[in-house]
Structure 1
Amino acid sequence: MKAIVYEMTGPSSVMTLRDRPLPAPGPGQVRVRVVVSGVNPTDWKARAASGTGSMLEAPKVPNQDGAGVIDELGSGVTGLTAGDRVWLWDVAWGGTEGTAQEYVVVPAAQAVALPATESFDTGASLGIPALTAHRALTSSQDGPARLSPGALEGRVVLVTGGAGAVGHAAIQLARWAGATVIATVSGERKGELARRAGAHSVINYRTADVPQAVHEAAAGGVDVIVDVNAPANIGNDLKVVKPGGTISIYAANPGESLAIPIRESMGKNVQYQFILTYTVTEQQKAAAVAAVADALKAGALRVGDEHGLPLTRFRLEETAAAHDAVEQGFVGKVLVDVSES
């Protein structure tokens, strides 16, 4: 089978296309023929590491997310059959086998049913973005642990960076759960994408007074902030979050720090939640996977330009260019076509 492999950290050029043996699933595992692989910022950051070109202990196949068809079951697997369409999550975390290859073996729990009405593109776009968004939306101490229709009824959610992959998923999941959603963006094109995703109000932070605009959209402020750039946004966040509200922070540049205004945070009894989807508790991950699966079945998670998440695609042998596109800030979702559907 064909696979993208790298043996040392560094620029995208360290990745090469190779032939590898077909893996066999063990007990509790399934083998999936990958149709589409999704690329996330953590994929290129893990590959680049510190940029020093360190040798790895074992060759690695990149990319955490993907979608495909179950090809073979290991012993003891129930609830899945060969031929099932599935989406995959956290595939490369803690190991060496990602989705940038024609076949991958994963624990059965990491292969989740993909409805016949949904595309492999949608399946490959879930994973990290949707699971991160779910944790951000459920991190309030008095909020739901698992999203469902009506779970956020009466709550207001602010999504900063509403045109990004996590922002897009947060808007769609929050709408599905009944919240009023406000999004901030940096331009008109991104604003249109956030509206297509389902945001009730969209604010261009480059031209508007964000706190004023948020209070015009939600006079009482917001319950949860899903923040892509807390160092830049913390001042505005504290002006618009409700007393007892939550600021969920899921992104940072290497070495970046956050200066938190302590008195202002104390005055509102603000809760800060830092999020890395890979290391949430088993219960939190299980709730996120189940909720995302439910939202997918309900048609609440959609991708493509018409749904606010433009797609750009590359062939398997162009995975390096796909990583470069994400690193360079492509607005939307970067996908790699691995095999025929």
Structure 2
Amino acid sequence: MPTVTDNLLRYRPWRGEFRGPTNGSWAMARTSLFLLARRRIFWGLYALALMVFFFFFYGQYLIVWIQQQTAQQTVQFGGIPVKVSELTKFLDRLNLNGSAHTFANFIWFQGYIVMIVLALAGAVLVGNDFAHGSLPFYLSKPIGRRHYLLGKFLAIGLFLNLVTTVPAFALYLQAGLLYDWQSYYFDHLRELLGIVGYGAALTLTLGLLLIATAVWVRKTVPLIMVWTGLFVLTRLLASMLVEGANLDVRWRLIDLWNDLYLVGLWCLGAPWESARGPQPQFWEAAAACGAVIVGCMLYLRRRIQAVEIIS
């Protein structure tokens, strides 16, 4: 019942529904995705990622067709005669046979596009909030610091999985249809669970690392340079130390994308001996990813708590 004071001040009683800070995280995630969808460059990069997917998608069809041909038969590709045996040698390197390495190789090659996409996404979603002073405004609303980070993390994770996990799942479905689907889906259930686990490892590690890097750097161009250094320069340095200087293989742990690749192989059930070149153990790569996750969480906790909230 409205009081006399309410009538005098012409206040109306509250009839809305309090949704709480958790729904605020979902709202922030939707808003962040809308910001990304408005940028044409993201659609262009996503189209480039689809080209890699279609290469693997039609490559699996091609492998099945090649298996039905004779090794000495010649086929025409763009008017150029190519022996089936030579084409088989090229495609065998990608393991386009629906095995664990099919999905691991696909996500590996998507890494170059993921690097660019996440660098731009971090600057748009998180860096601008610190650079333009928007974060205190967000935190003045009925959402907490953790819910702000959760909303940004959900948006980044969804975009990341649209480039890696969802296409890998489509390749898994295709492989079952190309082969005996009743036996394939039953015998390769570990690969399906491995795709989910690989996607979760990518989301958790790269999502937190991206937010932490964007909070630290903030601007787009420096963020791209730092992100490129993390995934390109560290890979070159690791190769030089292990293959060039013949140092211990544990130096490869500085290459985070390679660490995630090893974690993905473990999730997919592939043996350690089948990894690319000399590699550290699976548990060592998982420990390196865990250290990155813990470090990013501690850094974000300190930086977000230091933000003064507008009251």
TM-score, scaled to structure 2: 0.24
Q: 1 or 2, which has the higher strand percentage?
A: 1
Q: Which has the larger radius of gyration?
A: 2
Q: Identify which of structures 1 and 2 has the higher relative contact order when contacts are C-alpha pairs closer than 8 Å and 6+ apart.
A: 2
TM-score, scaled to structure 1: 0.22
